[in-house]
Structure 1
């Protein structure tokens, strides 16, 4: 039996390899994609833990003190350190730089040197490696800051380049309130070189929560819980800090008041002395009057200083978590998207592979019924006979599982990580995902061993005499096509046979159609995922948002002067004043943070900047005097519909309830829109309008950067400038991250489709070898014998491809639904060319399989095949 097992494998090596390859592909894509998401997360978490990334950061406009650090550490488990930090301009291009004070690299947010060394002297600086890559700085170069940076020196020598765990994405460095609003890179100087009386930032880390996982919901909840405690503590700390600053300022004011009091006493004494004298009275009186006026002016200035001290001594605290770091959330969302896709696409892929394998093994055992009958006649036990076929299926299945698990778990995540080159995580941390591996092994063995066991047990129930006779062929029946006599009469004899066989062997036809439809659907889904992810950004910034820039003013009264500044630019076309704010919204027990609320001064003009269209009808939505328009993702997250009510919490006031007047189509972010009258009706006050939505003529990214700098330098009332091109770049970057994964899906889907077609055709030929030999003996040429099989394949391929289009759309929609992020909607989009590509691929696979079958049929020994039963 063991000799026979190896002989069977050798004689049917093509089938054995096909079974193993189908299982290998199914396991590879299932285990590999399941392992990719955790590998991305594990690699990031290991790097962030090694470099001790802060959990929370606090920035104060009035600086932070040792008392603030002590206040932070009142929260259980908190480890805090204060550093100097500010945004400055520097370098050849006057770039916006995030400048940090460096003391050592043993605390939080440890730098990872890519070249050079850390600062050892006061004239040395370490730059972001992004500055080396983009601006071509080299070790030993001089780096010069602008005068406004207010440093001990202006020129420093570059001694190192580094990565920072605070900046994991090399394509972005976050936002700032200077220059164009985008940070170009970071830099580290010795702390003593920053002319700051106190530190400005506190880094806070909680060692106890690091094991929760930096991207997990448990970690986010733990951080938010501690952040709430910190904010509560710093309400008291803010008052203490204000009192401290007031006390320092008050000392100077008290001294100035004392000096003014002395001056007033001198003037009073002079007036008294003047009253006793008679000579020189006129000139002396004039001098005293001038002195008194000057003194009064100084008193008024002192009063203004007193009021200014009170206003400027109030500290503001800006809190941020890891989710606010540039690129951090995008990385986590990318890993989550892959994990979500892994719950759908690979499962479908694997199930298709398992189903085809089950059919293959079933037919293999059914073909051996005469051999089974012979074994039974020779006295072999049922167990021994069954073991032979179970062993064959086990070897094929286990080979596929072992190779697929190893390649999928180790190489697919490494490949994806290697093309995530924009991130700083270059050391892959990959653990074996035993759960998916075991699940894949169980289903693979069910598809192979289960099929062999099921058919073997079914066959051995028959007596040897029945098994040693071939199964009686299925009787032919009239088919539907025969009723159309005008068409049926024109068909040739072998064409009629092919069409009859299609209806005669329904299970064979069904499996072939399913294999082709499944392969087409998988290929189409791969292209559809890529198209749909790209479509979200394209539709958002071409069909919905039509402005190119947002300019923010420090006061609403300065919008007119800012417009004058903008009009001096050749790229400027027009602008719309809009009130913008970021709010929270609640409904049905759910809450959404960071929702953009827009209130245009002129709703009619605003329609040219943002297209609001009804989600169900597609019609344009006007902003009415009542009600609020919300984007579709808000409606889905909060489970609300048109006519429901939203609650908007208001700082230092009661929450506001607003009725939803419409739900607008939107693909990226959360947006709500109110007319000025609707805003006044809801909030009982006029909207504060301090932003301009600006339309520009076509401009390159470099021109937009120069334009932003020009506006900021020409008008001090411009608080910041942002361009939609930067947002679109971020979205496109998010889409490009998925491209390699999608490419793998398409490639493996194509391979699976080819193997499935080859396997099914091979089974078809082996089952019908006597039939094919018969028609060959009757005088059919080799080409006609091949077409006897190929014609059936072509018809089934056409049906399978058409069904595959429908399955592909359904599968793509389901995958996209699973892969949606909290802020992004992926519209189902599959471009026409991909239907054509999927069709061409399936036709090409069919042609290759038919050619291979043709070569095989030419070598068939007709006489041997016809007497095989004897």
Structure 2
């Protein structure tokens, strides 16, 4: 082995701690960068693999009158389409009489295959397989009897439970969609033999395209392709609704028309008898009653036979878009947090390599004097840096890519069992390798080149110390004169070695900021729901009336509830808002009926923090919508409601809001804008604390007896946001853990560099009689000051970093307010102090064993 190579191995052996520290810092940076970058794609790929394996349909069509073989054939005329039908309807049943999505089971069907969690699929007409939530939430067991309500209209009301399953149509265990029965929310799904359902036709048409299965369901390519397929199918079904309606009316309408003709003849004869002066009062009443019955029968027949289609894609399925948004949020976090993390790691590594080579000046000078070429000397440091960079990168990339995504997948328990699909992120691994080599190899080459530019004699002498200069504190005489000698030395050293000071502050500030950011992400996402339903909305339920002026009927039911406190009536509709070439869909347009509206919704100006009053001929917009449209108070917008009414109107103010899009206007403005008077169709209801059972019971009573379309509770919306927060907990905990480890390694490494650079100085003061504790404090005192400064800087950086990530992670409907709990600040501070103390103890043990004679020997 050549002397240079042997020397390199000796250097590694003598400074194992530094070599390992470089590897650890690089590994942590790469692990976080690659691992978090891989988490979002792995979530999407895993769900895509799961729904593809279970043959989830690309498009679902619901018909009010059902589908026939003609509809299947028509759908399959679209290139690559495979269509099949299933009986489906929403019913109520079970112990709690909840709303259930009931499907007819057919062995011949291949699409939307169930994931059996326990038990088996039905084998005969008396068996049922239930949603997994029936087991986990409603305590059903295999072998139990499940009874549907009479209104379900089934061949049999009671079935034996033979299995529990998950479905690719319901990927989120918490969400089953809305319903027009029960309390307005579907609580579970179930499958029985389709012959048990008293439906003359299948009501759902599922369409799947072979060409789309190779595309990831979350990519724009897939979504665009599905939209094209929907357009193609809609074009084929354009005239099918009217044809189907006429076909169903058929003979039934002929019978009614025949009866109408007979009735018309009887009326004509009655008129003739009247003209002759006969008393036909009783006959006239009979004919009027018959006419009323016939008119009602005709109207009912027309309603029953009127065919309408509801089109939906995977994005419209319960929980699907939420899952996609969840992975998008992780991807948004991954674009910022790991990059910042890695930059800190790379910066510290760069500094460590630089210091290492500067310490080896004597060796470099010796080898240069012995006649070795610049490249022969440089390449050993190149290999040293390359080895550390490669080992750290490979370990970080493999561990990060293989562990973090799997940890996240394992903790996503609110979703259906996923078939894990974790692909190695080569692009990010190679990018991390490039950054790592810049931080190690580039640093080594730059510094070696700079050192080799000097002559052998200069290199073999110690580098001349920096000349002493007065620091700012020295100029403040009253303060400086009262400081002890040790403190004066510490403060002088801090400002004398500015690069060391800044690197330590950056390292501590970076760790503090990263820990704060971890807490901030979780706190801020949770705060969107908390602030929306505590500060802005002061109601617990929204009751939608079936018709206008049904308020009394609903209030009668509400007044019978012990939890009811008060309510206010509003006119609520939805529409689209346009401005500056942009638009926002699904805007909730609220017009209050009474002056007590401000007790239920608090409108506050986002800039002036003043309560907003609704002015004539002006509207109030919520913040997210105003930002999207790029409008402010004084600008004009255009509004179109779902029934194509609207026009231009001025914005009077922008109000704070965190969830959803809302527009508020008074009755006069509504009348002026839509050319009609607003009609009450919604109640905002204030309720005391309710249990799930009480919420379901009240919603059921309102639906059955209160003239209500449905009731939605803010509790459910808050639960959704809480679930969104909990889904990020794994990522946040990983961030905090890795940030803490990085902070410790950085502090330890910089302290080691500090000690090695000042070994002669420390040996000198030890020879002068300083005790071990005093020698340790000589170094640690500087660390304490820098730690405090780093923590303070970290607070500011943490807030800025959190704000930026929240902006990147926001959704079209939600604003995440910057919120970092006191716990976050306490944990970050305590961890930094704890790391400083651990490093202090390690340093103390190291300084106790200093070879003073060896350190003080002359290098010349």
Report TM bin, short chain: over 0.9
Q: Which string of whole-angstrom CA distances, capped at 9 and with x for unpartnered residues, describes residues 650-692 of structure 1?
A: 4564653232222111111111122222111111112232111
Structure 2 counterparts to residues 359-758 of structure 1, below 5 A: 359-602=351-594, 604-650=595-641, 653=644, 656-715=647-706, 717-758=707-748
Aligned length: 852
Query: Residues 638 and 261 (structure 1 numbering): CA distance in 2 closer, same or farther, change over 3 Å?
Result: closer
Aligned to 2:794: 804
SS state at 1:579 partner: strand
**Matched residues in 2 for 1:293 and 1:186: separation?**
50
Aligned to 2:26: 23
Query: Residues 668 and 828 (structure 1 numbering): CA distance in 2 closer, same or farther, change over 3 Å?
Result: same
Query: Residues 66 and 106 (structure 1 numbering): CA distance in 2 closer, same or farther, change over 3 Å?
Result: closer
Offset, 1:214: 1.7
Offset, 1:509: 1.1
Report if the CA contact (8 A) 2:620-2:652 is conserved.
Answer: yes
Offset, 1:260: 6.3
Offset, 1:262: 10
2:187 corresponds to which of 181, 184, 188: 184
Report if the CA contact (8 A) 2:575-2:642 is conserved.
Answer: no
Alignment pair present for 1:309 and 2:301: yes
Report if the CA contact (8 A) 1:650-1:656 is conserved.
Answer: no
Offset, 1:725: 0.2
Aligned to 1:821: 811
**Matched residues in 1 for 2:387 and 2:569: separation?**
72
Q: Which runs of 5+ in 1 are unaligned?
A: 276-284
SS state at 2:530 partner: helix
Alignment pair present for 1:62 and 2:54: no
Alignment pair present for 1:83 and 2:95: no
Aligned to 2:345: 353
Q: Which string of whole-angstrom CA distances, capped at 9 and with x for unpartnered residues, describes residues 189-230 of structure 1?
A: 111111011121222333333444222334333333443454
SS state at 2:549 partner: helix
**Matched residues in 2 for 1:651 and 1:769: separation?**
78
SS state at 1:586 partner: strand
Aligned to 2:198: 195
Query: Residues 448 and 497 (structure 1 numbering): CA distance in 2 closer, same or farther, change over 3 Å?
Result: same
Q: Which string of whole-angstrom CA distances, capped at 9 and with x for unpartnered residues, describes residues 311-354 of structure 1?
A: 55433332222222211111100100000010101000000000
Report if the CA contact (8 A) 1:631-1:663 is conserved.
Answer: yes
Aligned to 1:130: 133
Offset, 1:255: 5.4
Report if the CA contact (8 A) 2:170-2:176 is conserved.
Answer: yes
SS state at 2:137 partner: helix
- Say which is worse superposed, 216-225 or 289-298, in terms of deviation: 289-298
Query: Residues 231 and 607 (structure 1 numbering): CA distance in 2 closer, same or farther, change over 3 Å?
Result: farther
- Say which is worse superposed, 608-617 or 201-210, in terms of deviation: 201-210
Alignment pair present for 1:253 and 2:256: yes
Offset, 1:165: 0.5
Report if the CA contact (8 A) 2:176-2:318 is conserved.
Answer: yes
**Matched residues in 2 for 1:571 and 1:264: separation?**
55
Report if the CA contact (8 A) 1:16-1:396 is conserved.
Answer: yes
Report the TM-score, using the length of structure 2 for normalisation.
Answer: 0.95
SS state at 1:118 partner: coil
2:857 corresponds to which of 858, 861, 867: 867
**Matched residues in 2 for 1:802 and 1:256: separation?**
88
- Say which is worse superposed, 493-502 or 62-71, in terms of deviation: 62-71
Offset, 1:38: 0.2
**Matched residues in 2 for 1:312 and 1:600: separation?**
36
Report if the CA contact (8 A) 2:393-2:433 is conserved.
Answer: yes
Report if the CA contact (8 A) 1:701-1:725 is conserved.
Answer: no
Report if the CA contact (8 A) 1:71-1:237 is conserved.
Answer: no
SS state at 1:409 partner: helix
Query: Residues 296 and 665 (structure 1 numbering): CA distance in 2 closer, same or farther, change over 3 Å?
Result: closer
**Matched residues in 2 for 1:336 and 1:507: separation?**
39
Aligned to 1:790: 780
**Matched residues in 2 for 1:224 and 1:588: separation?**
26
Report if the CA contact (8 A) 1:23-1:357 is conserved.
Answer: yes
Report if the CA contact (8 A) 1:105-1:111 is conserved.
Answer: no
- Say which is worse superposed, 156-165 or 76-85, in terms of deviation: 76-85
Report if the CA contact (8 A) 2:783-2:836 is conserved.
Answer: yes
**Matched residues in 2 for 1:300 and 1:649: separation?**
39
**Matched residues in 2 for 1:813 and 1:155: separation?**
55
SS state at 1:607 partner: helix
Q: Which string of whole-angstrom CA distances, capped at 9 and with x for unpartnered residues, describes residues 448-505 of structure 1?
A: 1111111111112221111111111111111111112222222222222221111211
SS state at 1:173 partner: coil
